[in-house]
Structure 1
Amino acid sequence: MHFAFNREQKTGDKQDSDNKTLSEALSYFRDKGIKISWDYREVWKAEHTHAFTVSKAMCQDVLLEIKAAVDKALTEGIPFETFQKELMPFLQRRGWVGIKIQPDGTRVELGSPRRLKIIYDTNMRVSRAAGQWARMQRTKKVMPYLLYSLGPSKEHRLQHERWAGLVLPIDDVFWNTHFPPNGWGCKCRVRQVTKREATRRGLSPLPEINPVRWTNQYTGRTEMVPEGIDPGWNYNPGQSRSQWLKKYAQEKEKEFQAVFG
């Protein structure tokens, strides 16, 4: 996976668009603070908008080092193999590798290649999705529709296959919960299209959303998750970031008025 853009190969509007997407993706990622957590279910859905976390990374220096490595990979387009090679020596020195046996006998997986791949893929894809959404909002007057398409996975979830080719307005509520990635390892994507192309393809009726009851065994909270989406992925990272920034600006304005008003 290679998310940075080769500026020498891009020209004109395409290069400008790619550069802005990368810039927005980096801004989304760098605005995050860090949150130490034992279980991935502690930081849920839109909370990832402002908190970078890696479950079971209980030391701040380990969490910050992983975050810095992801930042570098996103900025420079570093592939996973390089990301892992550069990060692993630090994790080995800190003892955050392999399988650890807890006092109660449970096995805990720390910095294994499998976990590092999940950390890499998840943060790269979600950050890019947030950057893409921000760019799409700026250009939606010209291209007001989104086309759902499958990614390069060898096998696709059945429900995601049903969404392939779906064309809906960019402001449709469907994208509030179904803007990809829509699960662990999901490589689905969307492409912004003009009204002319949307008309040619044929606008899609809003798909039937079959919510499934799911209980977070860690927190005890129960919620309804759309069928076909992994629990915790039924949110739009770019949209959540926009809402968070708006709320943050409003809070700062209240503080300013309280002091100088």
Structure 2
Amino acid sequence: MADSLSVALKAARQRFQEQIDFFRAKLALPTERWDDIWQGAHDRAFIVAGAQKADLLSDLFQAVDKAVGGASIGEFRRDFAQAVARSGWTGWTGEGTKAGEAWRTRTIYSANVSTSYSAGRRAQLLQPGLLAVRRFWCYLHADGVLHPRPMHLAWNGLTLPYDHPFWQTHFGPNGWGCQCRVVAVRAPADGAPTEPPDGWDDIDPKTGAPVGIDRGWAYAPGADSDTSLQQMVQGKLITYPSAIARALSQDLAAPRARP
């Protein structure tokens, strides 16, 4: 059987410049936990939970940059292993077992490839020339996933104006491993739903996100690309111990070259 990740991300591996530009505009930041960087802050910050050394983060950034540019998960796993070995990073989640390391590298790879793909596509869908003829967006469920989520299936085919509030939280991916996507259409297809289901914006108390969306995924990748990191710190989308926050402020104050 073909590797399910390879099948599910086949479309996302058709790289394009908006996707690459989105990722390369990020700043690599040290973190202790994955949720130190919250939702839309991922548009501006690159993290690997628990990675804090500058050289390690730089190597991991370059490894993911290659993945966003078209490298396979096998190539990424080799680059990840080399980065970890060079830095001497130990104690990371997944370390120590073949299954754990496969899971961790798959998670990092798929999350970065799918969100950068989504952000790049969103930028394309918002181009004025396209909006002039295709002002509706259609939610498409990825049929290739091994474990379809009932709510994501329920949204399949939903067609709404591009500026409907639904897209602020439900522009996929909508969780870990989700490969749902959005396409632009001229008008709803015959029989397509044109109103979100009742309760679509109800918050699940277990996740703090709308029902059907994983914790921390209720945002549209790319929508906050123009928001400054300072604003995100002030808005508590980026949380750090005070010492790291001061270092971040100093880094933000200095000009930097984009890769």
Aligned residue in 1 for 2:75: 82
Q: Provide closer, same or farther for how the CA distance between residues 188 and 59 of structure 1 changes in structure 2, counting only shifts above 3 A.
A: same
The answer to which of 78-87 and 201-210 deviates more is 201-210
Q: Deviations over 1:187-230 (max 9, x none)?
A: 111111112xx153445113222212247xxxxxxxx4100000
Shift of 1:125: 0.5
Answering whether residue 104 of structure 2 is matched by residue 115 of structure 1, we say: yes
Q: Provide closer, same or farther for how the CA distance between residues 201 and 23 of structure 1 changes in structure 2, counting only shifts above 3 A.
A: farther
2:80 maps to a residue whose letter is L
* Count of aligned pairs: 213
Instruction: State the superposition RMSD in angstroms.
Output: 2.3
1:82 maps to a residue whose letter is E
Aligned residue in 1 for 2:126: 137
2:111 maps to a residue whose letter is T
Q: Provide closer, same or farther for how the CA distance between residues 70 and 108 of structure 1 changes in structure 2, counting only shifts above 3 A.
A: closer
2:67 to 73, 86, 93: 73
**Percent of paired sites with the same residue:** 32
Shift of 1:86: 3.2
Q: Deviations over 1:19-42 (max 9, x none)?
A: 7xx211111111111110111011
Aligned residue in 2 for 1:29: 23
Aligned residue in 2 for 1:155: 147
Q: Deviations over 1:48-106 (max 9, x none)?
A: 1111111111211111111111111212x111012112331232232336xx3xxxxxx
1:63 to 49, 57, 64: 57
Higher RCO structure, 1 or 2 (CA under 8 Å, sep 6+)? 2
1:233 to 217, 229, 233: 217
Contact 2:155/2:196 (<8 A) preserved: no
**Alignment gaps of 5+ in structure 2:** 1-8, 233-259
Structure (1 or 2) with the greater helix fraction: 1
Answering whether residue 195 of structure 2 is matched by residue 205 of structure 1, we say: yes
1:232 maps to a residue whose letter is G
Structure (1 or 2) with the greater strand fraction: 1
Contact 2:141/2:152 (<8 A) preserved: yes
**Alignment gaps of 5+ in structure 1:** 6-18, 101-106, 216-223, 249-261
Contact 1:56/1:110 (<8 A) preserved: no
Rg larger in structure = 1
1:45-56 correspondence runs (5 A)? 45-56=39-50
Question: Aligned to 1:85, what secondary structure does the other structure show?
Answer: helix
Q: Provide closer, same or farther for how the CA distance between residues 157 and 238 of structure 1 changes in structure 2, counting only shifts above 3 A.
A: same
Contact 1:96/1:110 (<8 A) preserved: no
